[in-house]
Structure 1
Amino acid sequence: MLTIEDLSVNYGMIQAVQNVSLQVNQGEIVSLIGANGAGKSTILRTISGLIHPKEGSIQFLNQDITKTNPQAIVKMGISHVPEGRHVFKDLTVKENLEMGAFLRKDKENFEADYQTIYQRFPILKDRLKQDASTLSGGEQQMLAMGRALMAKPKLLLLDEPSMGLAPIFIKEIFKIIEAIKEQGTTVLLIEQNAKMALQVADRGYVLESGKLFLSGSGQDLLASDQVQKAYLGG
């Protein structure tokens, strides 16, 4: 579904990502783990078209999207939930969800999709008329994910969905991520909680200082001595 080859990304003179190649197959959860500053978020922002690479290519459904603009990438079926959630705080919960569907033309399907979101995130249905600014951090994360899902993505990019959340919300978010996969959406996940990220992952990649360090199945990486020492406290 998604193939990245020899991707390099610079911020000015700083090379944030160096010759990274990875693949995401349809129906998978793929986790990217690594320390802060390893280049994980940069990769997601490059996939989304928010920044363009210095070198390398990105293929999505056999189409080159390396220099495609973000709006076109959303239309093609990629939705991005950024680190920090970035909900529209002055809009209501319902208005935020409507923004997620902004580029869709099949308005006749919206109501059924809203109901799916409410089933997955019941708290949002109870908060529909509230401004997003009144929600807790966990509720805002659910809203950001619901907004992204309203675009009907084939591939969902999740950047640090558990950051700053209470443990009860973290468990719920990961259950939802698995449910999203089960219902047919492929997921590329960045997550500081490496253990939980690898537990739900079909496959994973480890980045260090912008370079690909290790790759393998989620279970193989969980069992790796290198991963345990660096990220799991082993």
Structure 2
Amino acid sequence: MLKVSDLSVHYGVIQAINKINFDVHEGEIVSLIGANGAGKSTILKAITGLHRSSQGEILFKNQAIQKATTKKIVEAGISLVPEGRHVFSGMTVLENLELGAYLRKDKAEIKKDLEHIYDRFPVLAERKKQDTATLSGGEQQMVAMGRAMMSRPKLLLLDEPSMGLAPIFIKEIFNIIEAINQQGTTVLLIEQNAKAALSIADRGYVLETGKVVLTGTGKELLASDEVQKAYLGG
């Protein structure tokens, strides 16, 4: 579904990503793990057109998208849940969710999808008229995930979904990611919580300073001595 080949990204003269290669097959959960500064978020920005790559190719469903606009990328079926959630304060939960469907015209289907979101996140139904700024971090993450799902993505990109959340919310968020995947959405997950990310991943890639240094199934990476020592306190 997604194939990234020889991807390099620069911020001025600084190279954040150095000729990275990876792919995501339809129906998978793929996790990219690594320390701060490894380049994880930069990869998602390049995929979604938020930051242009300086080299390489990004194929989505066999179509090159590295030069496409973010709007075209969303229309193609990719949606991003950004790091830090970035919900719109001063707007209600409902208004935030509706923004996720801004490219869609099928009002009846949008209404159905809203109900699906409320079924998955009952607390959002209770607070749909509430300003998102007044929600907890976990509830804001649910809004961000629901907003992304409102575009009906084929590929959902998640950037550090557990960041800053209480343990009870972290477990819930990862359960929700698995449920979204089981219902047919392919997932690319960027996450510092390596144990949680690899526990639900079909496959994973380990990044260090802009390069892929290790790859394998989620189980293989969880059992890896290198991953244990670097990310799991082993």
Partner of 1:213: 213
Q: Does 1:135 align with 2:166?
A: no
Aligned residue runs from structure 1 range 1-234, under 5 A: 1-234=1-234
> Paired residues, what number?
234
Tell me the alpha carbon deviations over residues 155-203 of structure 1, each in whole angstroms, 9 at most, x when there is no partner: 0000000000000000000000000000000000011110000000000
Q: In 2, Cα distance between the equivalents of 1:72 and 1:105?
A: 16
TM-score by length of 1: 0.99
Q: In 2, Cα distance between the equivalents of 1:115 and 1:98?
A: 12
Q: Which amino acid aligns with 1:9?
A: V
CA apart distance, 1:40: 0.3
Q: In 1, Cα distance between the equivalents of 2:143 and 2:136?
A: 10
TM-score by length of 2: 0.99
SS at structure 1 position matched to 2:158 = strand
CA apart distance, 1:27: 0.3
Q: Which amino acid aligns with 2:114?
A: Y
Q: Which amino acid aligns with 2:194?
A: A
User: Tell me, which stretches of 5 or more residues in structure 2 are unaligned?
Assistant: none
CA apart distance, 1:107: 1.6
Aligned-pair identity in percent equals 68
Q: Which amino acid aligns with 1:52?
A: R
Runs of 4+ in 1 over 2 A off after TM superposition: none
Q: In 1, Cα distance between the equivalents of 2:138 and 2:194?
A: 19
CA apart distance, 1:108: 1.9
Q: In 2, Cα distance between the equivalents of 1:13 and 1:109?
A: 46
Tell me the alpha carbon deviations over residues 112-136 of structure 1, each in whole angstroms, 9 at most, x when there is no partner: 1011101111110000000110100
CA apart distance, 1:106: 1.6
CA apart distance, 1:68: 0.5
Q: Which amino acid aligns with 2:10?
A: N
CA apart distance, 1:90: 1.0
Q: In 2, Cα distance between the equivalents of 1:127 and 1:173?
A: 18
SS at structure 1 position matched to 2:141 = helix
SS at structure 2 position matched to 1:140 = helix
